[in-house]
């Protein structure tokens, strides 16, 4: 092994600077949700091995300047060292850092922070919209609210606070107050509401002013449920609370608050709005100046006040808001067999359409959305009861621009009906929306299919991180399924800074759990009223997600906040644990969507549900013990560690034979025992891994795992020395596999491995989504193993550099914006060498395990390069023939492809059976397995295999 450092060791002191400075989770606003926000900073330093020795913090509060010393290396989520920030108070914080190179940075740019929480009880009353005269008021009817008020001279600051049962947007004097959408998001409304805090000083002027509110039902009035049994869960009509606080230079304060003096209208242009249904807008009904002063609202009605006002307390949002993130143009305009006009945006995405249209007043354009086409038409069946349809009725005032306000759709295709005149594709744009998280993770390699798979996982996360982590964004569901995020949280934590987003959702999980004696529902917020007993892998989100966030972000505060939830879930499981120490005999979802399960029975997996449940029982008990150790709860640590050990031993006694076989001889079972650490004996672990690899071979290296096993199997194979088998699984293109959807044109992760069947038809199952991120959890293994970057200590304080080059790849690279700065690992092949480049952020160290198998070693921060010999290639496959064992054929991709392609040329049905139904017994010859194959076809197969052997025996000459 040779190693070089790209930064000279002799550079003892070089310029350093604070490159990023932030408070708590949000960086998009100066408003903080906590009076004592924790501070984080990133230091850019060029010297190799740079470590922080300490820092000095400086606070400017009005005319007062305070300072505080911070000793030691920590620069992430550092406790606030000053007096608490008061509600509405503005302060500036600066930091300068000293390092082990003897240097000290300049002061950072000031970080302005404002107390974004309400001081004292809200003065605002909850107001809603008037009922329609003489007719039944539709569920979740949208409308508008307004109020005029006077601003005096000398206004210093104006802050708007608002929350809703539903979704809203505020305007002041005709201008929207911010660029956020679908505010205030979806929380467990009965227990917790988010409120926005917005500085609106610049929108006000002395004298008459007006505030207007667009209001719709959103998630609050939506109907939830399946198979025609959907019904409202929270309420039937939306309502809003608004409070505008004015501060003047002379110290006086005023509050403008929602109440009975506000006026309301349901006769405006927003005719109907629903998350699932879509939105209807009639521009003829728009009233100019409605959110400006001097508007004649005599025809409006007083806003009804919710006199009960049983609203949950509203607290500042800690998750980044939903925003318009990107715009995607039309890639192609299609005409369907039925003559409809369909737009293809080339990417399955989540958002809505923005249109520019000219036509006569009263002309209505309809937009319908779908993820895929079937027989050339929009495939609407997978949407179930979701209409996913928007309509716009023109005012006839020249070119008009419109975008739905309070809905979203999951789609790649949109059918446009009744467009006036010829359709110009440039007149319609897809607007991508999701929570505005900071991108932090990237991956690329030499295989374009794997790059597309990674992009699909990324787009799946983008589409489903909208208000809360949902399962899918298109059909009549879009719910916070706990199992999905439990398996995907490591990938999510790498791709985006999702700490605030998932931390917010975990608050709702804890609150929902509190109503169920520690049991976590299968969706959060819980609106289905089903499966209220513990469900393994779903409810375990209570322990797994906080621990993942601790590992990836180093947030001990979040772990402390969620600890009681973690412990309560473990205690709920102990109540259903049987006398043997296992979790058995309960209803489970198990290894959901195992590809062997029938379309109408997605839980009928090869791995028994009791094995899944008992493995997760151990996992959660063990995580609670680990969390207790971090937090210093010694008694809890001892108790839960002992309980976990009891369950681990009971699992081995019940489900694992002495020879290393599982009673459910299925890949998920073996993966659970290995990756959860249930099997610890080296000989037994190797036997389990060897059997797992054999099962992968017997399955033709096609996927045989569902939601539970899929995130684990590549790791389970890798840690037991079967990287080659993991590679074959990853690079497989036959169905079911990760790459089969890619070969079918997928641009997001599918819910089912075969959401589109090989004949091009849509899977007949009731659950067929084309944007479900859970199975995209393999991306985390691609980051950690294929490219080789992972945390070796919480929050990446220490980094693991351990690339494991796949034989089929020429290079791979990944980078991640850690809490300490950018880390990167990249490798490439140079003949018989592997060149590894790595970037270790300042303030951190790394443990390095190179692919040549040399002993691990540590390095400091900076740029590093290693040139090592590639692992010795395994003995190449021999000359394949009809007499070769099936095991040799399946382990030889060239021979396998030649065999089935030769069959396919004569009999496609037989080729499909060969690929899917052949049992790959190790010693059975290919000739024996083709017992009923016509001799002519056998001759073609023999010739194809001979051609493979000939290619291998022919020397390849290259110019030197």
Residues with active-site annotation: 477, 751
> Is the CB of residue 314 less than 8 Å from the CB of residue 194?
yes
753: region left, alpha or beta (phi > 0 left; psi from -120 to 50 alpha): alpha
In degrees rounded to 5, what are phi and psi of residue 715? Answer: -65, -40
In degrees rounded to 5, what are phi and psi of residue 282? Answer: -115, 100
- Bridge partner residues of 119 (DSSP): none
Q: How far apart are CA 659 and CA 876, in angstroms?
A: 30
Q: How far apart are CA 679 and CA 688, in angstroms?
A: 9
Burial 648-659 (b: 16+ CB within 10 A, else e): bebbbeebbeee
CA dihedral 613, 615, 616, 617 (to 10 degrees): 80
Nearest to 20 by CA among 759, 820, 706, 913: 820
> Is the CB of residue 57 less than 8 Å from the CB of residue 94?
yes
Q: Is the dihedral of CA 881, 882, 885, 886 positive or negative?
A: positive
Beta strands in 217-262 (DSSP E): 223-224, 231-232, 239-248, 253-257
- Bridge partner residues of 702 (DSSP): none
Q: How far apart are CA 399 and CA 887, in angstroms?
A: 67
Report helix angle 710-719 to 667-675, nearest 10.
Answer: 70
- 400 to each of 40, 269, 391, 395, 406, how far by Cα in Å? 46, 14, 14, 8, 19
Q: How far apart are CA 928 and CA 616, in angstroms?
A: 43
Three-state DSSP class for 572? helix
Beta strands in 624-698 (DSSP E): none
Burial 827-844 (b: 16+ CB within 10 A, else e): bbeeeeebebebbbbbbb
Q: How far apart are CA 759 and CA 755, in angstroms?
A: 11
Q: How far apart are CA 416 and CA 555, in angstroms?
A: 47
Which tokens sit at 48?
């190799």
Q: How far apart are CA 408 and CA 374, in angstroms?
A: 22
Q: How far apart are CA 703 and CA 753, in angstroms?
A: 8
Three-state DSSP class for 654? helix
Nearest to 28 by CA among 237, 225, 197, 262: 197
- Bridge partner residues of 896 (DSSP): none
Which tokens sit at 335?
């005409």
Q: How far apart are CA 550 and CA 499, in angstroms?
A: 9
Q: How far apart are CA 816 and CA 814, in angstroms?
A: 7
Report helix angle 556-576 to 499-514, nearest 10.
Answer: 40
Three-state DSSP class for 530? coil
Strands 90-99 and 111-115 turn out to be antiparallel
Three-state DSSP class for 8? coil
> Is the CB of residue 167 less than 8 Å from the CB of residue 193?
no
> Is the CB of residue 738 less than 8 Å from the CB of residue 775?
yes
């Amino acid at each position: 092994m040779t190693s070089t450092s790209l930064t000279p060791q002799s550079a003892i002191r070089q310029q350093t600077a604070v490159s990023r400075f932030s408070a708590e989770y949000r960086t998009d606003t100066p408003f903080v949700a906590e009076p004592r926000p924790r501070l984080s900073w990133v230091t850019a330093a060029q010297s190799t091995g740079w470590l922080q020795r300490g820092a000095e913090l400086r606070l400017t509060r009005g005319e007062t300047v305070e300072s505080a010393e911070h000793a030691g290396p920590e620069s992430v989520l550092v406790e606030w060292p000053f007096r608490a920030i008061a509600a509405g108070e503005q302060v500036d914080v600066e930091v300068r850092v000293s390092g082990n190179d003897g240097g000290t940075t300049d002061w950072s740019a000031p970080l302005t922070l404002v107390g974004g929480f309400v001081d004292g009880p809200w003065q605002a009353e909850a107001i809603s919209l008037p009922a329609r005269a003489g007719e039944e008021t539709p569920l979740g009817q949208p409308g508008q609210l307004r109020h005029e008020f006077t601003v005096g001279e000398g206004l210093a600051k104006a802050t708007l606070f608002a929350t809703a049962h539903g979704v809203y947007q505020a305007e002041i004097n005709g201008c929207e107050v911010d660029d956020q959408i679908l505010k205030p998001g979806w929380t467990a409304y009965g227990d917790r509401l988010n409120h926005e805090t917005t500085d609106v000083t610049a929108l006000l002027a002395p004298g008459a002013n007006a505030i207007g509110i667009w209001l719709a039902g959103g998630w609050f009035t939506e109907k939830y449920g399946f198979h025609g049994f959907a019904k409202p869960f929270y309420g039937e009509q939306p309502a809003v609370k608004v409070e505008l606080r004015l501060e003047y230079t002379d110290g006086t304060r005023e509050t403008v608050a929602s109440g009975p003096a506000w006026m309301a209208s349901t006769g405006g242009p927003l005719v109907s709005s629903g998350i699932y249904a879509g939105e209807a807008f009639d521009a003829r009904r728009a009233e100019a100046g409605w959110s400006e002063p001097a508007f004649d609202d005599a025809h409006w009605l007083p806003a009804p006040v919710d006199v009960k006002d049983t609203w949950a307390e509203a607290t500042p949002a800690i998750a980044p808001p939903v925003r318009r993130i990107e715009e995607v143009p039309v890639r192609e305009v299609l005409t369907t067999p039925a003559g409809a006009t369909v737009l293809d945006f080339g990417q399955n995405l989540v958002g809505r359409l923005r249109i520019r249209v000219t036509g006569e007043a009263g002309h209505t354009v309809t937009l319908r959305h779908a993820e895929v086409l079937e027989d050339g038409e929009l495939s609407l069946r997978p949407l179930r009861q979701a209409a996913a349809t928007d309509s716009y009725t023109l005012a006839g005032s020249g070119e008009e621009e419109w975008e739905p306000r309070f809905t979203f759709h999951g789609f790649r295709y949109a059918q446009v009906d009744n467009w006036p005149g010829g359709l110009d594709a440039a007149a319609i744009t897809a607007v991508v929306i999701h929570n505005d998280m900071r991108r932090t993770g990237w991956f690329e390699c030499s295989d374009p299919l794997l790059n597309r798979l990674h992009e699909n996982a990324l787009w799946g996360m983008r589409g489903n991180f909208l208000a809360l982590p949902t399962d899918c964004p298109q059909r009549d569901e879009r719910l916070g399924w706990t199992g999905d995020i439990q398996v995907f949280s490591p990938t999510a934590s790498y791709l985006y800074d999702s700490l605030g987003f998932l931390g917010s959702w975990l608050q709702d999980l804890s609150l929902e759990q509190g109503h169920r004696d520690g049991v976590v529902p299968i969706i959060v917020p819980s609106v289905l009223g089903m499966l209220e007993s513990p469900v393994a892998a779903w409810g375990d989100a209570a322990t797994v997600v906080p621990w993942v966030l601790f590992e990836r972000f180093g947030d001990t505060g979040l772990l402390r906040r969620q600890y009681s939830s973690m412990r309560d879930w473990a205690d709920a499981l102990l109540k259903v644990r049987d006398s043997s120490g296992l979790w058995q005999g309960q209803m489970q979802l198990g290894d959901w969507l195992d590809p062997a399960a029938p379309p109408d029975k997605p839980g009928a997996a090869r791995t028994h549900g009791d094995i899944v449940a008992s493995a997760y029982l151990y996992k959660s008990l063990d995580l609670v013990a680990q969390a207790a150790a971090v937090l210093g709860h010694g008694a809890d640590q001892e108790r839960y560690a002992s309980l976990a050990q009891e369950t681990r031993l009971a699992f081995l006694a019940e489900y694992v034979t002495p020879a290393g076989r599982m009673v459910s001889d299925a890949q998920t079972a073996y993966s659970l025992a290995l990756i959860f650490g249930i099997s610890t004996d080296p000989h037994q672990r190797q036997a389990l891994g060897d059997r797992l690899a054999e099962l992968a071979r017997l399955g033709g290296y096609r996927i045989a795992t569902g939601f539970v096993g899929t995130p684990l199997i590549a790791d389970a194979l890798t840690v037991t020395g079967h990287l080659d088998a993991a590679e074959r699984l990853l690079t497989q293109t036959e169905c079911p596999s990760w790459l089969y959807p890619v070969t079918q044109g997928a641009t997001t992760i599918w819910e089912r491995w075969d959401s589109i069947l090989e004949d091009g038809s849509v899977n007949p199952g009731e659950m067929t989504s084309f944007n479900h991120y859970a199975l995209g959890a393999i991306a985390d293994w691609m980051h950690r193993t294929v490219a080789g970057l992972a945390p070796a200590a919480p929050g990446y304080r220490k980094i693991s550099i351990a690339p494991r080059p796949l034989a089929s790849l020429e290079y791979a690279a990944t980078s991640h914006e850690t809490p300490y700065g950018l880390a990167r690992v990249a490798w490439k092949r140079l003949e018989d060498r592997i060149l590894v480049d790595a970037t270790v952020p300042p303030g951190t160290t790394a443990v390095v395990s190179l692919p040549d198998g040399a002993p691990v070693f540590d390095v400091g921060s900076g740029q590093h390069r290693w040139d090592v010999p590639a692992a010795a290639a395994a003995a190449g496959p021999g000359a394949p023939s009809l007499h070769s064992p099936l095991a040799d054929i399946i382990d030889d991709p060239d021979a396998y492809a030649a065999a089935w392609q030769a069959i396919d040329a004569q009999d496609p049905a037989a080729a499909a059976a060969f690929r899917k139904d052949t049992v790959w017994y190790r010693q059975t010859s290919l000739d024996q397995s083709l017992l009923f194959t016509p001799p002519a076809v056998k001759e073609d197969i023999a010739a194809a295999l001979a051609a493979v052997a000939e290619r291998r025996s022919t020397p390849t000459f290259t110019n030197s």
